[in-house]
Amino acid sequence: MESTNQSEALRWNARLATSASFILVSIMIACVVSTGVQILQLINPAFQGGYLIPICILVGLEASSGQRRMKYYSFPQPEWIAYRIAEFTVLIIGLRFLFYWLNGIDQLWVDLGSWPESFLESVFNREFMLALFLALFAWGANHILAEELLLMEADENRLNVEMMGVEVEERSAAQQNLRDTVVFIGSALILATAVVRFASRSDPAAQAATLVTQINVIVYFLLALVLFSLTNFSVLRMSWVIQHGQIRKEVASRWIFYGLVFITLLAILASLLPTSYSTGFLTTLSYLFYGLLNVLRILISILLLPFILFINWIMSLFRSTERIEAPAPLQQPIIPPNQPLFQADWLEVLKSIVFWSTLIGLAIFSIYYFLKENRELAARLKRLPFALELVSFFQRLIDWIKRINHQMTATITAGIERLRRSPSEQPSSFTWGFTNPRNLTPRQRVIFFYLAMLRRGSEKGVPRKAGQTPYEYAQTLEHALQLPPDVTVAPSVDINEEIDSLTEEFVEARYSRHEVTSEQASLARRYWEHIRHVMQQWLHSRKLNT
Amino acid sequence: MGKFFWFLLILLVFLAIFIGEAGDFVLPLLYLLLGAFIFGRFWSGRVLQRLQIKRDFVSHAFLGEQIPVKIQVANSEWLPIIWLRLRESLPIELAPADTLHQVITLGVKGKAEFLYKLDCRRRGYYPLGPLSLYTGDVIGLSNPVRVYGPEYLTVYPKIISLAKVDLVSHSPMGTLRHIQPIFEDPSRVLGKRDYVAGDSLRRIDWKTTAITNRLQVKIFEPSIALETAIFLNQNIQEFDRRTGHDDTELGIIIAASLANYIVGLRQSVGLYTNGKDPLHDSVTALPPRHGRGHLLRLLEILARLQAGVAEPLVQLIYRQSVHLSWGTTVVIITNHVDDELFDGLFQMRRRGMDSLLLLCGPVARYSEIRHKASYFGFPLYQFHSEQDLKIWRV
């Protein structure tokens, strides 16, 4: 029962996806027809074909559904022939009546009168033939694409056969054919739009047509992306079903959601990126070059600044006190007006840089992938005499850029790491042996004496381990500094107490916010001196023992 | 994507460069198509590359156990995974009815978990995986694949609990009691008795003598040490063609059961076999050792062992027996006995070793072999199936 429900759901989903694809395809073909109408209107301004766009959508939908109906029939079969004849008859008659309805029904009565003498001339006149041509184009294109779409659809019977491994439908091939056809029609649409764009240069009346054709191209390709996404999901889902994969319910909904997000983001990105330029390529390059030179000049100035200041100071020592007559002012050169020396609007320059770099990047990328897809051509090109040197040069260039990138990344990472490090992890600001404690604040002095204890402890073989708290280290040090019973230091000194006190002082100085007095610092110094003394004794006794 | 797509891109680039004013529709289109291509590839490639996969399972199991395997998949990226197909390849001997083959979707930082159970129906060393992961972008421009390498599960061979096996040994002073007084162990004092003329002075228990005021001597318990070396034949050429596969498996079960029995007696056992170990190229030689840890090592080797064309067992015996110590009991598990093997057994006897012949499966000229073994004093047993081991289960 469950498997029957699943199979029913699968069939229903597949039909839904194919129907959605039929609608998309019919709108896409309507965009092409719309461009065709614009071109025909430019050629023959009397031609009015606006009404053909909804008609072509309907014709396209009819062609797709007819294709589904005739899926199991082929050309010589009488059912197929009968259906197609009926289909075309209805199409021609319907279009003709629509033509009469739009141009006025009186025309029908006039034509009816002339049918006995000149039937063909009155019915199939030039305008009607143009409209019929576009409608037939829409029918044909939809028919071809629907054929591929139906090959990708899940048919329960075929699916069962495929799941048993008897016969496998080439859905991927159908998908590829569909893409090729869509891209091919799209390329023709682009060329047609470019032609209209050219025509609009000389003919101001074609401005409106240009806008319409451009919108048609964009809409066509946006819908094509949606169609590709839909068919991709259909093909993938069928392959998962055939391979007995369990498909989670949310996959389909997430696919639609992420697909729409993806295409919307792309559309936004495409609309945001620069589409025109105010500065030519070479001028932009010169701006870049001069910009880099300026940066270099500033860097050199900064580097040489101390030296220049030093020279100035030396020179000032030998400056004469006598007043020197100022020389007569030189005549200022006259800068010709309207000749700015690389003074441009920085925003425009930036836009141009983005534009040109994007365009060149895209060109290189397209050529690279084109050669990657056509390996034979790439292999032929590689055999050319200069190609090897060129490839080697580019390889070296890429290696160099990679190396520089690696070094820069390492430097930046190290810098960020240094900045991120907490103050306690950073190397101490004390410079051992050169710091005069008298110049330090009482808080710094306490810390200084504690760090001195750490340093000396480390030298004596009791280093502080990473992660050891001051109190833990104090215990370790106390345990290590157990003097032999025969060694006496001073009757009043209890080394453990001294270490504990210095540790307490340090913790207070390091972590408290209240003021540390100079008395506390003096006390810390006294503790440290006692500890140092004991450490020396301890070391001496160890040497004697060994 | 097809050649037309690249043709279209080149056409667009051409138009963008050479027809400057056409840029207002050409460039957005170029951005749209190349954006779909680049971003689609980047998206699916990156998320699959950064996908974190973990397979949790117990790597060793006994026969008949069910091992749960948990696969965790985590998306560590800020990009969702639109679809992800996971397919786990499993050995047919262990595979459950529903193998892992799922299509899922993972959100940003999303996680998924899959659980399946393996039936350890047969001993062996099995790869779990590889786990193949497929994904792609919405348009279908790229379909990257990632393979998460296999991990291995060892299923120990069947062990039949044995109660009493007649393993002979002439190695004195061990931990096993013996009836022959020749193997008296001076560390095992059984009792005391009055001195009899001829008793060694070393046997006199001076403390007891002082207490009882009579000369007392110690009585020692005889004991033997059982150091066993199992020679397991896995050379398929020395087995019957029809039953070879079952016979080699039976040999492995016998070897595992014997090893378990001997370790249970706290004695040492070793294994020498000409079978193929997938982890090692060389012939397996595991010298006799004590303990459960050693037994597990031995069982692991037996679990991995594969019968195949290998060097004859006799050559293995000649090569490895020189490393065995005096008094070792050699257990030969094979299906093929000839004069050469008897020669080898004789040589080992001369070096102070005892031998036991265990035949797996039907053997040609069995009565002749039994006669020879009986004549030369080599204990011989034949097993046709696991049930025949009941003679040692009493």
Q: Do B105 and A235 touch (CB under 8 A)?
A: no
Closest chain B residue by Cα to residue A244: B101
Q: Do residues A504 and A366 both lie within one domain?
A: no
* Interface test with chain B among A232, A235, A354, A355, by most B beta carbons within 10 Å: A232
Please give the Cα distance from A161 to B45 (Å, whole number). 34
Strands B60-61, B151-155: pairing kind: parallel
Q: Write the CA distances from A265 to A217, A227, A276, A410, integer angstroms.
A: 18, 17, 21, 33
Percent of chain A whose pLDDT exceeds 70:
84
Same domain, A210 and A294: no
**What is the pLDDT confidence band of residue A338, given thresholds at 50, 70 and 90?**
low
- For the stretch A244-295, pLDDT in tens is 888 888 888 888 899 889 989 988 888 887 776 666 677 778 888 888 888 9
The arithmetic mean of pLDDT across residues A83-109, rounded, is 84
Contact A187 B3 (CB under 8 A): no
Q: At B385, phi and psi to the nearest 5?
A: -150, 180
Structure confidence by residue, pLDDT tens digits, B146-155: 999 899 999 9
Q: Do A221 and B23 touch (CB under 8 A)?
A: no
Nearest C-alpha neighbor of A523 from the set A508, A505, A542: A505
| pLDDT tens-digit readout, A429-470 | 444 445 677 778 889 889 999 999 998 888 888 888 888 888
A320 within domain boundaries = no
Q: Which residues does chain A have within 8 Å of residue B21's beta carbon, measured at their own beta carbons?
A: 197, 201
Q: Which pLDDT does position A492 carry in this prediction?
A: 44
CB within 8 Å: A214 and B24: yes
DSSP state, residue A50: T
Tell me if B41 sits within 8 A of B141, measured CB to CB: yes
Under 8 Å CB pairs connecting chains A and B tally to 171
CB B93 within 8 A of CB B103: no
Same domain, A221 and A292: no
What pairing do the DSSP bridges indicate for beta strands B101-106 and B81-88? Answer: antiparallel
Q: What distance in Å separates the CA atoms of residue A113 and residue A126, rounded to the nearest whole number?
A: 19
Read off the CATH number of the domain in which A497 is found. Answer: 1.20.120
Report which of residues A321 and B327 the model is more confident about: B327
CB contact under 8 A, A271 and B28: yes
Contact A365 B34 (CB under 8 A): yes
Alpha-carbon distance A422 to nearest alpha carbon in chain B (angstroms): 27
**Chain B partners of A368 at a C-beta cutoff of 8 Å?**
none
Residue B83 three-state SS: strand
**Domain membership flag for residue A427:** no
Query: Distance (Å) from the C-alpha of residue B319 to the closest C-alpha of chain A?
Result: 52
A419 within a domain of the structure (yes/no): no
Residues 84-103 of B with CB under 8 A from A: 85, 87, 101-103
> Computed from CA positions of residues B2, B3, B8, B14, in that sequence, does the dihedral angle turn out positive or negative?
positive
Lowest-pLDDT choice from B63-67, B94-98, B341-345? B94-98
- Residue-number span of the structural domain to which A74 is assigned: 2-272
- Do A485 and A504 sit in the same domain of this protein? yes
Highest mean predicted confidence (pLDDT) among A23-27, B163-167, B184-188: A23-27
Judged by average pLDDT, the poorest of A30-39, A480-489, B123-132, B290-299 is: A480-489
Using 50, 70 and 90 to split pLDDT, how confident is the model at A402?
confident
Q: Are residues A67 and A153 in the same domain?
A: yes
Based on the fold, state whether residues A202 and A68 are members of the same structural domain: yes
Please compute the mean of the pLDDT values over residues A86-108 and round it to a whole number.
Answer: 84
**Same domain, residue pair A259 and A283:** no
Same domain, A239 and A301: no
Query: What's the confidence (pLDDT) of residue A396?
Result: 87
Summarised one tens digit per residue, pLDDT across range B197-235 is 888 888 899 999 999 999 999 887 766 667 899 999 999
Interface of B with A in 14-33 (CB under 8 A): 15-17, 19-33
Q: Tell me the chain A residues in contact with residue B39 when contact means C-beta distances shorter than 8 Å.
A: 262, 265-266
Question: Which has the higher per-residue pLDDT, B69 or B18?
Answer: B69
Instruction: Report the residue from B26, B32, B140 with minimal CB separation from A267.
Output: B32
What b/e string do you get for A474-505 counting C-beta neighbours within 10 Å, with b at 16 or more? bebbbeebeeeeeeeeeeeeebbebbbbbbeb
Are B12 and A221 within 8 A, CB to CB? no
Domain count of the fold of chain A? 3
Classify residue A79: in a domain, yes or no.
yes
pLDDT at A331 over 70: no
Q: Is B36 on the interface with A (CB under 8 A)?
A: yes
Nearest CB neighbour to A366, from listed B3, B4, B9: B9
Instruction: Using a CB–CB cutoff of 8 Å, tell me whether B12 touches chain A.
Output: yes
Scanning every residue of chain A, which has its alpha carbon at the shortest distance from the alpha carbon of B21? Answer: A276
Give B-chain residues touching A362 at CB under 8 angstroms: 9, 13, 16, 30-31, 34
ipTM: 0.72
Looking at A221, A245, A272, which one is the last position of a domain? A272
Residues of A in contact with B9 (CB under 8 A): 362, 366, 369-370
Q: Domains, chain B, ranges and CATH?
A: 50-155 (2.60.40.10), 180-222 (no CATH), 227-392 (3.40.50.410)
Which chain A residue's Cα is nearest to B11?
A187
Q: Which of B24, B29, B43, B132 is best to mutate for the A interface (most A CBs within 10 A)?
A: B29
Q: Is B41 on the interface with A (CB under 8 A)?
A: no
User: Of A386-395, A479-488, B328-337, which range is least confident?
Assistant: A479-488
pLDDT at A430: 46
Give dist(CA A448, CA B392) in Å, integer: 80
Question: Are residue A140 and residue A216 in the same domain, yes or no?
Answer: yes
CB contact under 8 A, A262 and B39: yes
> How high is the pLDDT of residue A325?
65
Which residues make Cβ contacts (< 8 Å) with residue A381, sequence separation at least 6?
A371, A387
Position A127 pLDDT exceeds 50 = yes
* Domain assignment of residue A323, yes or no: no
Q: Do B21 and A197 touch (CB under 8 A)?
A: yes
Give the start-end residues of each E strand in A166-315: 246-247
Asked if the C-beta of B42 comes within 8 angstroms of chain A's C-beta atoms, the answer is: no
Residues A198 and A68 in one domain: yes
Look at residue A68 and give its three-state secondary structure.
Answer: helix
Does A372 share its domain with A254? no
Percent of chain B with pLDDT over 90: 44
B22 closest CB neighbour out of A197, A243, A254: A197
B362: which 2 tokens? 């039907």
* The two three-digit tokens of residue A338, written as one number: 């309207």
Same domain, A132 and A214: yes
Which tens digits make up the pLDDT trace of A483-518?
655 555 444 457 787 888 898 889 888 888 888 888
Residue A427: pLDDT above 60? no
Does B173 have pLDDT greater than 70?
no
pLDDT tens by residue, B55-65: 999 999 999 89
